[in-house]
């Protein structure tokens, strides 16, 4: 039998012959999930054979419940009323005399109802089985222990050089469409060197001018470094300091912090 | 990996994950460095399972993933650990869920035909929010009603390896079906004849 | 309690709790039915600790509470378990990164002038947090805008020894910009002419 909740308390069984006072209607509405459920309850309660339902008696009992439901929750009673109408129809058809040559099975107006009841009952049994399964948070609990030394790894975005170049191409195309100046025409090597020098003088503070040049780079390297320093100076990112004539020239990063 | 064993790494991952781990995720634990092959992994998992013997945990498979969980014998003690009582679901919700689980993909109308009562939107919404069901498509009939199916989270929550592990639908009164053959039953439930009028949500 | 041991109940609780458990909470697991006394509990906890030996877990005491956690040695594998999915960069982020790579040191205003649209703070923040760009200084113009450049991590990601290994702009340019003659480009790349005036203040 289904379980019934009365103000949160659980009853495993309905009283054997429940007469329902109106204030217990909540109980019915909650304990029966629909007209088929109620019908099954009535049939099972009286230990009737589902295949041989005494329609008249079942209908009478059914109507008692439905009348009570109507009094309280009309919108919920709708489905029950449809069933009541179906029951009434079956009852009336059973009262009619049968045509002599009618096929017996087809002639039984209960057949469709029985089919639905049997199908419904299969699922009702399935519900009980499903509900009885061990569930997470009820019978079973998941294991999740903390990880010592955990830190969130953030894998690098999947960017390939092609993506970068493609982005650059589109930006250049766009820039060409609206800009008149030839941005992005600077030699990369000077720009890179500017970053390197700026970095160095920011870390080292005063840095000797000559120390920024690496003779190993050859003449071109020296020129690039020199151009980079001039450009940094022009953009006022660095300044030069010389204490005396012919004293070593120092470079420092401009900071106003 | 030195003397840290594969088994221990898998155990650690299963202890820490808090959700089922697929074999792919287990392989990914090893990054580039000599990831174990499938057979080695499965052998190590068998060891993990063996280590659980006699202890409070068990290794459970959900589809192609594995998790560690406490055995149900421990529920009486563990339920005292949590102030929150496990959620209870109404019969209407469970019936709807069971019908979706067994008959998926299924429309609301078909569920109503079986239950003999309107299925409220709240029920569908509650099950969807719980992520136990999801819309898996639309039926090619007028109105194109949504078709529902269960999710991986449903299997996880009800501790099912797969849908096949659902107990078979009981054959109630199988011996006599009031003139209906067994083979006929599933067909009808397919909803081929359309929901009976009584099941419509909009009938007075 | 039959043959379920106290030790196993504690283990189950420690596995399932998800937070450190005090002795009081452990006692509360047993409800009314003969809760263990403190000495018994501590002895059982010692057993739990012993069971961890040789495995991937350890019993950690935090103030007056206990929890099971994976040993530190397993962090390298486990951190892969929780690794975030690699982000996908939007077009705006890629363009910004490309401009910074080729034009560094460069201000946000200059990037905006080239892109023709505003560069949001989120873009700069995303690239900075990724450690692909960093502030390398501030430009000596009113407002002292930050100058950005690429990092070593950027070079490493793209497998470049130095920025000079970036594909020459000429190639990119030639494809993109029909307005510039090809002959002009190699000359620029040589760097013999000084930086053009366009590199000046970044008025958008």
Is residue B108 very low, low, confident or very high in pLDDT (cuts 50, 70, 90)? very high
**DSSP H or E run through B150:** strand B146-150
Considering only residues 13 to 42 of chain B, which have any Cβ-Cβ distance to chain C shorter than 8 Å?
Answer: 13, 15-18, 21, 25, 28-31
Q: Cα(B93)–Cα(C37) distance, rounded to whole angstroms?
A: 44
For the segment A124-142, what is each residue's pLDDT rounded down to a tens digit?
Answer: 999 999 999 999 989 999 9
According to the model, what pLDDT value does residue B102 have?
A: 95
| Whole-angstrom Cα Rg for chain C | 30
Nearest by CB: B11 against C4, C17, C56: C56
Contacts of B77 (CB under 8 A, 6+ apart): C9, C12, C13, C29, C30
CB distance B78 to C12 below 8 Å:
yes
For the segment A91-127, what is each residue's pLDDT rounded down to a tens digit?
Answer: 888 877 766 665 555 567 888 899 999 999 999 999 9
Q: Cα(B98)–Cα(A128) distance, rounded to whole angstroms?
A: 9
- ipTM value, please give it: 0.69
DSSP letter for B14, please. H
The alpha carbon torsion through C38, C39, C42, C46 (nearest 10 deg) reads -170
**Which residues of chain C register pLDDT less than 70?**
1-3, 170-204
For the segment B75-89, what is each residue's pLDDT rounded down to a tens digit?
Answer: 999 999 987 888 888
According to the model, what pLDDT value does residue B87 have?
A: 84
Is residue B127 very low, low, confident or very high in pLDDT (cuts 50, 70, 90)? very high
Q: Cα(C85)–Cα(C74) distance, rounded to whole angstroms?
A: 21
CB distance A61 to A18 below 8 Å:
no
Identify which of B195, B111, B204 has the alpha carbon closest to the alpha carbon of residue A80.
B204
Nearest by CB: B16 against C12, C31, C78: C78
Contacts of A47 (CB under 8 A, 6+ apart): none
Instruction: Tell which CATH architecture fits domain C3-80.
Output: Orthogonal Bundle (1.10)
Question: What residue segments make up the domains of chain C, in order of their start?
Answer: 3-80, 91-190
Nearest by CB: A149 against C75, C150, C195: C75
- The tokens for B57 are 């945990």
Peptide bond into A79 cis (omega under 30): no
Residue A6, pLDDT above cutoff 80? no
* Cα torsion angle, C97, C103, C105, C107, sign: negative
Identify which of B158, C6, C43 has the alpha carbon closest to the alpha carbon of residue A139.
B158
CB distance A199 to A228 below 8 Å:
no
* Cβ contact, residue pair B9, C77, below 8 Å: yes
Domains contained in chain A, CATH given: 30-132 (no CATH), 161-253 (1.10.10.580)
Please list the alpha-helical segments (H only) found in C3-151.
6-17, 23-28, 38-52, 75-81, 91-103, 108-115, 121-129
* Cβ contact, residue pair B55, C31, below 8 Å: no
Q: Cα(C4)–Cα(B57) distance, rounded to whole angstroms?
A: 12
According to the model, what pLDDT value does residue A19 have?
A: 53
* Cβ contact, residue pair B16, C73, below 8 Å: no
| Whole-angstrom Cα Rg for chain B | 22
According to the model, what pLDDT value does residue A88 have?
A: 87
Contacts of A129 (CB under 8 A, 6+ apart): B166, B167
Region for C147 from its dihedrals, namely left if φ exceeds 0, alpha if ψ lies in -120 to 50, beta otherwise: beta
Is residue B182 very low, low, confident or very high in pLDDT (cuts 50, 70, 90)? very low
Residue A241, pLDDT above cutoff 90? no
| Closest residue of chain A to B168, computed from CA coordinates | A126
CB distance A53 to A41 below 8 Å:
no
Of residues C96 and A45, more confidence is placed in: C96
C3-80 and C91-190 agree in CATH topology: yes
Which residues of chain C make contact with A227, given a CB cutoff of 8 A? 191, 194-195
DSSP letter for C37, please. P
Counting Cα atoms < 13 Å in the Cβ hemisphere of B158 gives: 27
Q: Cα(C169)–Cα(C175) distance, rounded to whole angstroms?
A: 10
The DSSP code sequence of A185-216 is -S-HHHHHHHHHHHHHHHHHSSEEGGGG--GG
- CA C144 to chain centroid, in Å, comes to 29
CATH of C91-190, one of 3.60.40.10, 2.40.50.140, 1.10.10.10, 3.50.50.60: 1.10.10.10
Counting Cα atoms < 13 Å in the Cβ hemisphere of C156 gives: 8
């Amino acid at each position: 039998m289904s379980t019934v909740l009365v103000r949160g308390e659980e009853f495993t069984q309905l009283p054997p012959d429940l007469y329902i006072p109106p204030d217990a209607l909540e109980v019915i509405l909650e304990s029966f999930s629909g007209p088929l459920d109620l019908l099954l309850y009535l049939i099972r309660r009286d230990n009737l054979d589902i295949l041989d339902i005494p329609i008249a008696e079942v209908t009478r009992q059914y109507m008692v419940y439905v009348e009570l439901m109507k009094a309280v929750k009309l919108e919920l009673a709708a489905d029950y009323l449809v069933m009541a109408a179906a029951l009434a129809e079956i009852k009336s058809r059973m009262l009619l005399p049968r045509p002599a040559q009618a096929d017996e099975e087809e002639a039984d107006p209960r057949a469709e109802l029985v089919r639905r009841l049997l199908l419904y009952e299969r699922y009702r049994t399935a519900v009980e089985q499903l509900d009885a399964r061990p569930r997470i948070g009820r019978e079973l609990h998941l294991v999740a222990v903390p990880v010592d030394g955990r830190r969130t790894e953030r894998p690098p975005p999947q960017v390939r050089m092609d993506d970068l170049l493609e982005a650059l191409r589109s930006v250049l195309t766009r820039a060409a469409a609206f800009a008149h100046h030839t941005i992005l025409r600077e030699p990369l090597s000077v720009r890179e060197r500017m970053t390197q020098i700026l970095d160095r003088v920011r870390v080292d503070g005063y840095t000797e001018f000559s120390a920024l040049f690496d003779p190993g780079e050859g003449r071109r390297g020296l020129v690039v470094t020199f151009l980079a320093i001039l450009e940094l100076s022009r953009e006022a990112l660095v300044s030069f300091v010389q204490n005396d004539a012919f004293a070593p020239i120092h470079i420092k990063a401009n900071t106003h912090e | 990996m030195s003397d840290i064993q594969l088994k221990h790494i898998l155990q650690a991952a299963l202890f820490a994950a808090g959700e089922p781990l697929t074999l792919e995720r287990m392989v990914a634990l090893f990054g580039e460095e000599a990831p174990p092959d499938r057979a080695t992994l499965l052998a190590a998992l068998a060891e993990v399972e063996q280590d659980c013997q006699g202890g409070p945990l068990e290794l459970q498979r959900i589809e192609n993933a594995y998790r560690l969980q406490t055995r149900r014998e421990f529920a009486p003690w563990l339920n005292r650990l949590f102030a929150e009582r496990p959620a209870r679901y109404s019969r209407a919700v469970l019936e709807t869920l069971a019908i979706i689980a067994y008959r998926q993909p299924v429309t609301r109308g078909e569920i109503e035909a079986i239950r003999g009562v309107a299925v409220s939107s709240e029920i569908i919404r509650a099950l969807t929010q719980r992520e136990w069901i999801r819309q898996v498509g639309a039926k090619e009939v007028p109105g194109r009603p949504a078709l529902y199916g269960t999710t991986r989270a449903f299997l996880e929550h009800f501790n099912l390896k797969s849908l096949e592990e659902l107990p078979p639908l009981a054959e109630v009164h199988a011996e006599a079906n009031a003139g209906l053959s067994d083979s006929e039953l599933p067909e009808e439930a397919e909803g081929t004849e359309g929901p009976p009028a009584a099941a419509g949500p909009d009938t007075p």
